[in-house]
Amino acid sequence: MERGLYIAASGMLTEQVRQDLISHDLANASTPGYKADRVTTKSFGDLMLSNTQTGQPIGALGLGARIESQVTDLTPGPLRETGVPTDFAVEGEGFFSVRSSGGVRYTRDGQFQTSSNGTLVTAAGDEVLGPKGQPIKVGADGTVAASEVGVTKLTTAKREGDNLFSGAPSGAGPGTVRVGALEGSAVDPITTMVDMLGSLRAFEAGQRVITTIDSTLAKATNQVGTI
């Protein structure tokens, strides 16, 4: 089978994964505290070619591309003042702790609200936890002191979905809590759109390669075979 088909197809699959991640980032361009994913690509091991008669090396043949790794960029985003007393932002490094249905999870999204029983919760209804792991009571005036909201240092952070992370907590985080502010999304829409267009062009290039190889094979079968 024509090896070029596999090489082009592997590149298209790689770009498809990139496009899925970029699309997800764009959809969260306005989500508070959202962190973008990054992928690195690498070629499969090269196949070393040599002359079958003399054994003399000819060169290397690439075997296509693959996704080597996918990581989340946890660089703190810009903060913006909202004036809402239940909005919180971590200035620096660290995560808010919340109690979800799957256990304690962590987030940078501080767009909280007051539950029916007077505790601070996320938009999904998960309880926000204080420095000692306790639920946080909202005051009668609708405010919460910054010192009552815990900031956790997290190692090996892993995205869990819904803007939540899991990982190994290792004490209090170095960041400070700012009341009445939110951390913006780490996605720059313009840069991300440029990345998507570049990925789309690479995907289309793979399509053209496959079309060209298919046309060449058709001619080899239908025309060269009749000679």
Q: CA 87, CA 109: separation in Å to the nearest integer?
A: 9
Virtual CA dihedral for 199, 205, 211, 213, nearest 10 degrees?
-120
Q: Which residues contact 188 (CB under 8 A, 6 or more apart)?
A: none
- Structure pTM? 0.77
Pairing label, strands 176-179, 65-72 = unpaired
- pLDDT tens digit string along 18-34? 899 999 999 999 999 99
pLDDT tens sequence across 132-172:
999 999 999 999 999 999 999 998 899 988 899 999 999 89
